[in-house]
Structures are given as C-alpha cells and as structure tokens.
Structure 1
Amino acid sequence: MENFSQELDAIPETLRETINRDWRNLTEVLIRQPGEVTLAVGSGGSLAVAEFLALALGYVLHRVTSVHTPLDLITKPWLIAGRSIWLFSAGAKSPDTQAIFRVIRDHDARQLSLLTANPHASLLQEIKNHERGYGFILPESAGQDGFLATHSMLAGCLAIQEALGLIGDPTTSDGNFLTELEGRLRREARHATCAPLLSFWDREELLLVHDPILMPAAVTLETNLAELGLIPVQRVDLRNFAHGRHFGLSRRCTRFAVLAMTSPTSRDLWNSLSSYLPMEIPRHHLHYDASTAPGNALLALTDVLALVESGAIAAGINARKPGVPKFGKAIYADMTVGGKISTLPKAVQRKLSHARQHTPTIHGAIDYLNSYRSFLARLRVTTFSGLLLDYDGTMVAHPMDKAAKKIWDFLVSLLDHGCRLGFASGRGGSLEGILHDQIPRVHWSRVWVGYYNGSVVLPLNRSLAEIDILANPDIERAYDALRADKRLFSRCLHTPKRSPAQIALKLPDSTDVQETFREVKSLLNIRADGPLKVVHSDHSIDVIPTRSTKCSVLERMKQVDANTGGKILCIGDSGHEDGNDYELLSSTFSLSVDRVCDHTEVCWNLLPAGLRGPAGLAFYLFRISLSGRGTYRFTP
C-alpha cells in the first residue's frame, strides 16, 4: 500500500472486520461505567474517536462525557478522581499517552479503559493491572494507518457504535448502515463527493461551519488539513459563527471558501445563514440524514477522508507518506510532557481532588501537604491497643463477597496478642453470624460490634437477638414512603430490609448509588435538624436515626481501654461527607481504603495507586507490628 487512495480503498475491509467482532465486553464496560461523568482522551486522529464516544454515550445512554487532549487533562488532574476515563490511541506508545496514563493512575480514576489498534502495546498490560482497567483491541487491519489516522479512527468509532447498538441503536441492527459506509468509501464515490469542491483548494482559508453533532468529523477535517499543510481551517458551529466571525469573513471574502456540514437538526440554520453570505464567497453544503446522531457523524467522517484525499491530490502530496521533517519527529518524541506530572504525594492528591470536586474548602495544596506530614508523624509515634473496622467496602468489596482468609488470620493474631477489635457496620444479624464463624469464642468478649450503623453496640459474646430494639415511628413512616415509590424499590438487589433502627437499600451496581441516594433524601425530605439521616457506601444506602453513629463503637472501646493508654485506629471506605463512615473516619487516627473527606487532620488514604477496598485493608494491616502485650504500632 503506497498511497493514500489505496489506504482509503482498504478501509471497507477493516470496517467489515470491526463489525463482525464480538464487542459484548465493550458494551458491558460502556453501560456499567461508574460515576456521573466520563472523560474521553485522545490526540491527533484519536481525538475524533474521543468526540465520537462523547456523542454516542450522550445519544444512547444520556451520559455526560468531557473530551480532553492528554496535556489538557495532565494540567487539570483534579478532574480525574472517581471518574471513568477512556484513552484512545492507535499505537498507545506516544509520550503523551504514557504520561496521561500515569496521571490517571495516580489520581484515583474509578475506571480506566484503553481502545487501541496495537495488540503489543505495553500500556495494555499496565491498564489491565488497574483494579478496574480494561483494554480493547481493534482488528489487525485497523493498524494500516499511514501518516493520518484513517483505519483506526473509523474502526474505533464503529466499534463504539456497534457496542452501543447492542442496546438499541437501529443503525447497527443489520448490514444496511455498513453498506452505506462502504459505498461512500468506494473511489468513484469519493471523487463524486469532492468534485464540487475542487475550486476550494485555490482559496487561502476554509471556514468550516458545522452541526455540533458532527464534531468528530469537523475535528478530523480541521486536524488533517492542518497536519498536511493543505489549507488553514476555522472551525465553528452554525450559530457560534454569528457571534463576531462574520466581520472577519467580510474583510477577507476573496480568500475564504465556506464548507457547511449539517444533520436534520441544523439544515434550516445553514439555509438561513447561507442566504446572508456575500455571493462572491464560494460555499458547499454536505448534509447527512441517517436515523441517529452517531450514524450521521460516521457518514460525515467517511466524507472527510475523501476531502482530505482530494486536497492532497490537488497539492501533489501523498497523504499516506508525506515525509515527516526531522524537527517533527523530534517534537513528537519529546519527553518533556512527562515532567508535568504532579509530584504531590498520592494521599495529598486524593484530598485535593475530593475538596475541589465536592466541597467548598479554604485548604490548598500546602495546607494538605503540611497536614499529611503531621498525620504521618503522629502515626509513627503512637501506640495502639485497638482496631475498629467498617465491614462492607472495607473487609469485602461487595455485600455478597467473603472476607479474605489472610485478613481474618491477621485480625485473630491481634486478638491473640491481647488487642481489642471492633466492627462498625450497617449490617445486623448477618454480621454477627460471620464474626462468630471467623473469630474463636475465647476472644468474643474483646470484640465490640456496632450494628445498624452504631444504633446497637454489643460485645460479640452477647447476641443481637437478646436485645429488644424499640420500634422507631420515623423509620416506619420513611419505609412506607419509600415502598410507595415502586420504581425506587425495583432498583434494589432485593426488597429493602427494615429493622426498628434502620432501612437498608442494597443496590446491585455502584453506578446507581449517587442518583438513588439523592432521590431517597428528596423523597424523605431529609434535613440537618430532622429525626433521620441518609448515608451510603458503594453498594448500599441506609436510612437511620440522626443520633445513630458508628462512633458509638469507638466510644465504647475507649471506655473499656481507658486504663491502657493505647489509641484506637479506625479504617473504613466511605469517608466522604455523605458516606456511612464519615463520622467514624473523623476520629483522630483514621484511614480510608477508598474515599476521603476534605478535613486536613483525619481520614487519610495512604494506599498506593490502584489499591482500594479489601486489598487496601490488607496493605494497612501488614503495616502493623506487634509491640508490648495488648498493643501495636503502625508504620505508614
């Protein structure tokens, strides 16, 4: 394959291989990604795939997606924490891709996915090592790109289209749409598309006015024409053009040509705009009328490649192998971008990310850095006599999971050494049964358990069944109100449990928690001075009396250990302001295995990048060293 026209001739085969591939795993990751906002990252031709993802996710799933170049996101790392992030890169080996991966990894992205045409990219394995990392490889033929991204770009977009089409996009339910794409890519069809535009290449500038839905195509045309040095492009949507650019156009009418790209939502806007333009300005209109917005974007992308081919032929350039200048190769390979990665400690980055996203705060990086150093210093010199743990999200990642044997073995060794142990959970009797199975009876009197988020606190040698918990009329009324909303109950893993002290809603997927949490608060009209409060973890939402707190377990353990002088270390996962561990992790010595609050002195997550939940708890536990009888030290 020697020239650009041959490169484009081969694309239909790549598209056919792409659509025949099984993308069910991609579908699952796309529709199950956590968080409310997705970040899509790409540069060069891959930026068009990022734009296409944003369009397709919005169209099919009504999901908000923000598009970034690698450097853009490197300079704004506070956007990353807790988000689902997609990287698009044909080769996955540029300095920019390597740098943004390290930034994303080190700033607690909730999920990280890579779509690439390079099956041998070392970055694939690194991403798969992330706790929620996914790598997707395009068909081998997608690696036939020359200087410009062509095969990989269209294959990447079509893979996303096909994956999302499995949940109802009609353009991919049969072969008709693919047939239309292939037809547009035939050499005679490409020449027919571009024949009316041949005079454009004699102009000095191109004004590209487009429907925002066609952003992937508009970005590609702007990028490719600039990369080949064919013609300067001004890209603007059909209405943003009205805000001043018309004056600049009026001063250079003889230099400009205007290309309009529209879909059914914008055709009338172009017709009106065109009627006002001076007659001496040449213009051409490309309109797309597929049944979906992503379909229109894909059709426009095929035409853009034909336009680039036409311009390159007119300029006498082989767009497949234009000949990269030496300084261009040096610029591409330059590693300076790697030095832009934040060097703040991971724990400080987490605090800053949370504070900037979720809470108004007066604290800056220096405040957190100084507090972080102070917190570590306190940990190093403190003698502990007790350990208090959250259960769900800390001991186990999912309510149906079992805690690892190595964790139980270590906790029992602490008890053997004479230390005290505590658990603070939203669970009731199920937790009692688990603890009885895992902890030898001889230690039960030194294990304190807070059930129903601390509403009931008992030593393990006393059964919850012995306690008569008085019915709470506020809980009763709240349960009736929630049960009346059948749509809300239908989201739960099973019928929400109601005890006299709590209502527990268990959700099958963490992606539903935030929205359901807000709905529950609104439905129950939760107020700071009201009788009830609502807290949540990754998979559950609990409605509890305002006075209930996991700190009740901590206070009971402090009373029992008042004479030892040892402190109690608390570990949980949901330390943020609405989390069910927020109060517990506001204690003096508190560590999180996941989310943190904006407080400077407490609730620090000291884990290495990529660790959270039970794996994070294991990391903390193995930083513990036994000292004198009944005490231990923690080495951060």
Structure 2
Amino acid sequence: MARPFKTEMSELGTTLDWVVEADISDILLGLEESRDESIIAVGSGGSFSAAHHLARLQQTFNGRVSAAMTPYQFRAEPTADAHCWIFSAGGSNVDVIAAVTAANRAEVAGVNAVTMRRTSALARFVGEDPTMRLHYLAVPSKRDGFLATNSLLAFCAVMTRAYMEMNGNAEGWRQIVAQMRQLIEGQISDSWRAAALQLTGLQHLVVLHGADTSLGAVDLESKLVEAGIVGVQMADYRQFAHGRHHWLAKNGRLSGVLALTSTRDRSLARRTLRLLPSDGPCAVIDVPGSPEEAQLASLLAAFYITEELSFARGIDPGQPGVPEFGRKLYSLTVGKADRRTRHQASVDRKRCVRPAGLSSKPHSGPSDSIEVAHRLFEEDLTSTPFGAVVLDYDGTVVDTQDRFELPREDLVAEVLRILHCRLQLGIATGRGRSAGADLRAVIPEEFWPLVTIGYYNGAVIRDLADTEPLDEPSQPSGQLDMVHDVLQRDDSTLRLTLRAHQLTVEPEAGLSKDKLWQHVRMLVDELELPLVRVVRSSHSIDVLDSSTSKLHVVDAVAARVQTAAVLRIGDRGRWPGNDYALLASPLGLSVDQVSQDLTECWNIAPEGIRGTRATLYYLRSVDVLDGIGRMRLEKDE
C-alpha cells in the first residue's frame, strides 16, 4: 500500500479519460433500481468520501433522503428499506466484508458493491448471492498508495456521470470533463498549491465549505488526518457559526483556516471570513463551475492541497509509513454478530410491512401476535398435504438480474427430484413462449407432461409439452386498448407491449418506477375501467384484463390432481405485486416481499436467503410420497 504520491497524481488524467470512455451500463442499471429509494452508501477511509458523494447525488437528483455510513456504523444500524452501495477499492479489508455481510443479513432492498479488483473477498461474497450486484471498475492506473486517489476520482466521477446521464444531461457531463482536464493540466491548480503553502507548519486546520464543495472538504479531512499532516476541524459556513468558531478564539495562533468557495456561497464565505480574528493564516480555494462541476473540482483541490502540505512537512502522503500498532488496528475484527433464528427473521419480515396496532382479523385478542401467527402458519403448512407446486418465474425460478439466463442448476435439480416423485408442477409467468423454451431446455422431455405453464400472467394455460404458438385472440380487450392508446399519446418515453390480455409498461431510462406505477394506476382509475387491474413485477408494470390471473394456473393443476391444496411460491407477495393474489393462501410462500396478512404469504427462509436461494430452500424442504407433497421445516435452534 505504498506508492509515491506524485506518481499517483500524474495518473489522474488517465483515470479521467477512462471514466469518460468506460461502459457504465451496469452502474446505471443499479442506480435505476435505486432511483425511488433511499441509499445508504458505505465506505471506510478514502472510500467514505465516495460514499458521501453518492448519498448527496441521490438526494440532489432523486430527492431521496440518503446517508453515508462507515461499515461499523452500518453494521450496527442497517436499514432494510434502503438500497445499500458499498465502496472499496481493494475489496478485502475486514470492515467492508462486515458491511456486505450485514447488508445480506438485514435483507436490504438492494446491494451494490463497487470495487477496483475483480478477484477479492468482496467479489467472492457478492458473486455467491444473485440478489447482489458487483460493479468492477477496470481503471488502468495501478493500485493506490496509502491514500485513495485514482480509485476515489474514478468512484466519484463515474457516479456523477451516471446521475447526469440518467437525468438526460450528457452535455453537462461533457462540460464537467472539459473543466476537470483544465484543472488537472492548468494554472488554477497551481494557484491552489500556492494558497495551500500559506498554511504550512500549523497544528490545526479549520476547513470551511459550502453546499457545492462538501466532497472536497470531507476528503481533505480524511487525507490530512490519515497521513498525519495536520489536525482538521471541518464544518460548513453556518455550522461553523454555531459554536465551532470558538476554537479559533482559544487556539487561533496555532490554527489556520482553509475556505472552499464556489459560485453559490462566495458572498457568504466573504462575509464569514471578514469576521474571523487575524492572528492565524487563512487561505481561500475558489472552485469554478456549476454545483456538480464544483463538487468534483473540490475533490481535485483536496488532492493538490494534500500534496503541498504533506511535502512541506517532508512527508510523502502516498507512503507515509505505517506504525506496527496501526497495522494491527487495521486487521482487528469486530467480532461476530448474533444471527437471527429463522423464526425471528420470518417475524421481522412481517413486522416491517404491518402498520403498528394492525390486527389480522377483527376483534382479535392479545394472542393474535405476529409471533403466534408465525407458529400457527408453519403448523398448518407442515400438516397440510398438497398435490402440486406452483412457482412464479422471474424473481423465483430465475433471479431478476439473471432473468434472461436459464434457471440455476441446483434449483433445476430440486425441480427434477419432485417431478421424478410424480408431484405436479405449475409455472405462473408474465412472459410468453420464452419461459416455456427455457424450461424445456433444462427439464427432460419425460417430465414435460407433469408441468403446466400459465403464460402472460395466467391468460394462456398450456402443458410444457405443447410447443405450438400461443393462440391468443388477435385483438385485446377494448379497455386494455384504451389504456394503451392514452399512454402512447401522452408519453412517448414508455415501452408499451400490448397483448390480448395484458399491457406491459416499462420505463425508459430516467423515469421513476414508483411514479410510473402511480401514473398508470391513476389513469385506470380516471378512465373508470372496472375490468382491468394494475400490478407490479420487479421490472415492469402490467395492466391485466379480468380474464387474467396467476390463480388460473393453481386451478389448472388442482383440477389435474383433484385437490385444492397447492403450494404456491413467488417473490412479489406485497400489494400491488403481481404475486399478491397467488400467494394469498395458507400455502403461499414468498422468497422476498410478504403481505400484511398474518395467515398467508410468509417468507420463512433463513436470514439473508432471498430470491432463487429461498426457492431452493423451500423445494429442498418438500418431501414427496406417492405424488403427494409435505413441507418439512428445520427446527430453530
């Protein structure tokens, strides 16, 4: 972890060039999924600056309250409803592994890990969980030295580029790039260096910043303290006015002030600095441009200031030397957290979606607790024989981000086991023929007669063996046609797919899925269309006519086996999810979202097990004898 800092600084231009040309489509996809949610951004050391930057971007562009946390803080305070983004250049320190483990156990809404190393402990952990995403940035510069430089520039610039492109401001991004190149190569950075030299030989430095220079201030505090250059107190201009100024009153001769200013706060900065005592040095670092230009410019300023103040003290911040106790501290583990039992995890999932005080049925007494309801649900589940299993497809048989791939081999092996035991299988999917083709690719032909598929959310029921074209009516219902025409006329940014019984609405990049859902639902209500309903899948909004229901698949397999008892497994069991009706049963199991009802649609998989891994857990718990299935659940320890 030691490289000459000047060598790292000489590579900044190359790193910026890489950011401009890099394929960031996977980053964009992860951010699109996070668009409507709060983000908890996690990083330690220099990566905390990247976490701060992402949290601010999410609030600025998407209006979602977000926060930056250290891995230790996140481990103690995970938030299940938020999306978690974890930054680590190397991906192998004990704290980042603790953070991603905590994210998995808390079952946060989404996990994205951003790293510079394709092979690391972080990459291995994320690679084993298909509900998480790994973003590998193949920056051409060598690994950072003691301080984060090129990795941090890449993290922050990639995120800025992504948000600006998501919001249709590619021209703004090009302007930022042009300015950044001038700063790396030009005279402004020389003026920053000269200003920094006014602050040498101090014991303490007060760093003041505005709204558009917070990134530089956060990183400057990190770098100067980590390299042992000078103690830093950081505050924005108004927070400084609330008591922190008193430091200068008592320690002014040993302290200096470094003020980061930009277009929005120059006036406030000037008025603030005029009031400060004159017994200590004060340097002003002015950064040009729009708010987003100023943020990245302030980061570059932090690099140049660190370089000048460090070498003025005779310290190379890229290789300052690490004391033995520091090496031991870096490797110190925080200890293992207590894992929740399966019962605790199941109860917590229900509790998260139920309003406080809500009872499962009218006039229920104190025994009607979530804990008791879970015990009763599992007792009924394990004591009820069933004649078939019906599975949702996307998010259940294949994970959402792998939905264009074939089902995983271990899950297919369990499907074949229950089919070999002559248990009937149903598949309820919003797709058309592609789902049947993928299943025929992994299920031997001898088992095809045992599999029933409901295409287009149950509108078309076929045996897996049936490879004929899906003979839908040529015209959709009049009400679906009406919704399609209004959406097509009012908004050309939507991808609309109209079929006989289903209209699929998918957002183009830059459109919030939550806002799209509200828009489509409001339209259906305004048009007063009683024969259609609107549901959400993991990647689209579906408008369905009255003849469409995944319950048709349940009815079809139930008729085959002559029993109403059918086990149902899906992922979107919370209203308005497209599995809400399917899982509204005492035999309904979710691999992700659960409903509020205490008598149905539970997720009873072990802690941290979601998606296809939860499906695999459920299928492995199915015992089959003479074509009849029973659930056998492990005991909680």
Question: TM-score of the superposition, structure 1-length normalised?
Answer: 0.77
1:207 aligns with 2:213: no
Q: Alignment partner for residue 180 of structure 1, among 180, 183, 205?
A: 183
Cα distance, 1:393 vs structure 2:
3.8
Cα distance, 1:222 vs structure 2:
2.0
1:336-371, Cα deviation, whole Å (9 max, x unpaired) = 2x42x4511478547636754x6534599x976665
Equivalent residue number for residue 46 of structure 2: 45
Equivalent residue number for residue 339 of structure 2: 343
Equivalent residue number for residue 238 of structure 1: 237
Shift in alpha-carbon separation, 1:351–1:289, aligned structure 2, 3 A: farther
Q: Equivalents in 2 of 1:51, 1:324: separation in Å?
A: 26
Q: Are the counterparts in 2 of residues 12 and 182 from structure 1 also a CA contact under 8 Å?
A: no
Q: Equivalents in 2 of 1:480, 1:376: separation in Å?
A: 46
Q: Alignment partner for residue 574 of structure 2, among 562, 573, 576?
A: 576
1:420-444, Cα deviation, whole Å (9 max, x unpaired) = 4444455689989999998989987
Q: Equivalents in 2 of 1:224, 1:184: separation in Å?
A: 23
Q: Are the counterparts in 2 of residues 390 and 573 from structure 1 also a CA contact under 8 Å?
A: yes
Equivalent residue number for residue 362 of structure 2: none
Shift in alpha-carbon separation, 1:510–1:451, aligned structure 2, 3 A: farther
1:216-249, Cα deviation, whole Å (9 max, x unpaired) = 2111222334335554433222233344545676
Cα distance, 1:459 vs structure 2:
9.4
1:405-433, Cα deviation, whole Å (9 max, x unpaired) = 99789768756755444444556899899
Q: Equivalents in 2 of 1:164, 1:428: separation in Å?
A: 34
Q: Equivalents in 2 of 1:464, 1:142: separation in Å?
A: 55
Cα distance, 1:66 vs structure 2:
3.3
Identity in percent: 26
The farther-off stretch of 133-142 and 156-165 is: 156-165
Q: Equivalents in 2 of 1:471, 1:75: separation in Å?
A: 52
1:383 aligns with 2:385: yes
Q: Are the counterparts in 2 of residues 425 and 451 from structure 1 also a CA contact under 8 Å?
A: yes
Shift in alpha-carbon separation, 1:415–1:96, aligned structure 2, 3 A: closer
Q: Alignment partner for residue 597 of structure 1, among 579, 592, 595?
A: 595
Number of aligned residues:
611
SS at match of 1:196: helix
Q: Equivalents in 2 of 1:248, 1:155: separation in Å?
A: 35
Question: Which segments of 5 or more consecutive residues in structure 1 lack a partner in the other structure?
Answer: none
Q: Are the counterparts in 1 of residues 341 and 607 from structure 2 also a CA contact under 8 Å?
A: no
Shift in alpha-carbon separation, 1:53–1:594, aligned structure 2, 3 A: same
Equivalent residue number for residue 516 of structure 2: 516
Shift in alpha-carbon separation, 1:602–1:227, aligned structure 2, 3 A: same
1:34-73, Cα deviation, whole Å (9 max, x unpaired) = 2324432111211112223445666788887532211221
Q: Are the counterparts in 1 of residues 41 and 69 from structure 2 also a CA contact under 8 Å?
A: yes
Q: Equivalents in 2 of 1:526, 1:138: separation in Å?
A: 50
1:153-204, Cα deviation, whole Å (9 max, x unpaired) = 3454355557778844114655x63342244798x76652323334xx44x6
Cα distance, 1:288 vs structure 2:
0.3
1:357-408, Cα deviation, whole Å (9 max, x unpaired) = x6534599x9766655665555444422222233444345578666689978
Shift in alpha-carbon separation, 1:625–1:116, aligned structure 2, 3 A: same
Q: Equivalents in 1 of 2:115, 2:471: separation in Å?
A: 59
SS at match of 2:145: coil
Shift in alpha-carbon separation, 1:389–1:137, aligned structure 2, 3 A: closer
Q: Are the counterparts in 2 of residues 45 and 153 from structure 1 also a CA contact under 8 Å?
A: yes
Q: Equivalents in 2 of 1:119, 1:293: separation in Å?
A: 33
Equivalent residue number for residue 498 of structure 2: 496
Counterparts in 2 of 1:468-483, with a 5 A limit? 475=480, 477-483=482-488
Counterparts in 2 of 1:93-108, with a 5 A limit? 93-108=92-107
Letter in 1 for 2:9: P
1:128 aligns with 2:127: yes
Equivalent residue number for residue 626 of structure 1: 624
1:287-312, Cα deviation, whole Å (9 max, x unpaired) = 1003x434323332333244344544
Q: Equivalents in 1 of 2:531, 2:77: separation in Å?
A: 40
Equivalent residue number for residue 307 of structure 1: 305
Shift in alpha-carbon separation, 1:318–1:172, aligned structure 2, 3 A: closer
Shift in alpha-carbon separation, 1:182–1:476, aligned structure 2, 3 A: closer
Letter in 2 for 1:596: V
The farther-off stretch of 232-241 and 66-75 is: 232-241
Q: Are the counterparts in 2 of residues 513 and 538 from structure 1 also a CA contact under 8 Å?
A: no
1:271 aligns with 2:274: no
Equivalent residue number for residue 365 of structure 2: none
Equivalent residue number for residue 534 of structure 2: 534
Q: Are the counterparts in 2 of residues 427 and 452 from structure 1 also a CA contact under 8 Å?
A: yes
Q: Are the counterparts in 1 of residues 97 and 121 from structure 2 also a CA contact under 8 Å?
A: no
Cα distance, 1:143 vs structure 2:
2.1
Q: Are the counterparts in 2 of residues 108 and 350 from structure 1 also a CA contact under 8 Å?
A: no
Equivalent residue number for residue 196 of structure 1: 198
Q: Equivalents in 2 of 1:482, 1:497: separation in Å?
A: 15
Letter in 2 for 1:39: I
Q: Equivalents in 2 of 1:414, 1:288: separation in Å?
A: 66
Q: Are the counterparts in 2 of residues 128 and 135 from structure 1 also a CA contact under 8 Å?
A: no
SS at match of 2:538: coil
SS at match of 2:86: strand
Shift in alpha-carbon separation, 1:520–1:347, aligned structure 2, 3 A: farther
Q: Alignment partner for residue 355 of structure 2, among 349, 355, 360?
A: 360
Shift in alpha-carbon separation, 1:310–1:569, aligned structure 2, 3 A: same
Cα distance, 1:530 vs structure 2:
6.6
Shift in alpha-carbon separation, 1:239–1:110, aligned structure 2, 3 A: same
Q: Equivalents in 2 of 1:466, 1:189: separation in Å?
A: 73
Cα distance, 1:570 vs structure 2:
0.6
The farther-off stretch of 463-472 and 448-457 is: 463-472
Q: Equivalents in 2 of 1:528, 1:368: separation in Å?
A: 37
Question: Which segments of 5 or more consecutive residues in structure 2 lack a partner in the other structure?
Answer: 360-367
Shift in alpha-carbon separation, 1:235–1:451, aligned structure 2, 3 A: same
SS at match of 2:627: coil
Counterparts in 2 of 1:318-467, with a 5 A limit? 319-336=317-334, 338-339=335-336, 341=337, 343-345=339-341, 349=345, 352=348, 356=352, 360-361=355-356, 375-376=377-378, 378-395=380-397, 419-426=423-430, 453=457
Q: Alignment partner for residue 28 of structure 1, among 19, 25, 50?
A: 25
Letter in 1 for 2:134: Y
Letter in 2 for 1:386: A
1:18 aligns with 2:22: no
Q: Equivalents in 2 of 1:451, 1:318: separation in Å?
A: 64
Q: Are the counterparts in 1 of residues 5 and 316 from structure 2 also a CA contact under 8 Å?
A: no
Q: Equivalents in 1 of 2:151, 2:304: separation in Å?
A: 16
Shift in alpha-carbon separation, 1:13–1:558, aligned structure 2, 3 A: same
Q: Equivalents in 1 of 2:81, 2:476: separation in Å?
A: 44
SS at match of 1:587: coil
Letter in 1 for 2:14: E
Equivalent residue number for residue 585 of structure 1: 583
Q: Equivalents in 2 of 1:58, 1:397: separation in Å?
A: 29
Q: Equivalents in 1 of 2:428, 2:74: separation in Å?
A: 38
Cα distance, 1:622 vs structure 2:
4.3
Shift in alpha-carbon separation, 1:309–1:107, aligned structure 2, 3 A: same
Cα distance, 1:592 vs structure 2:
2.1
Q: Equivalents in 2 of 1:461, 1:89: separation in Å?
A: 49
Counterparts in 2 of 1:538-549, with a 5 A limit? 538-544=538-544
1:514-565, Cα deviation, whole Å (9 max, x unpaired) = 3321221123337999765321111332234689754465467667767x6x
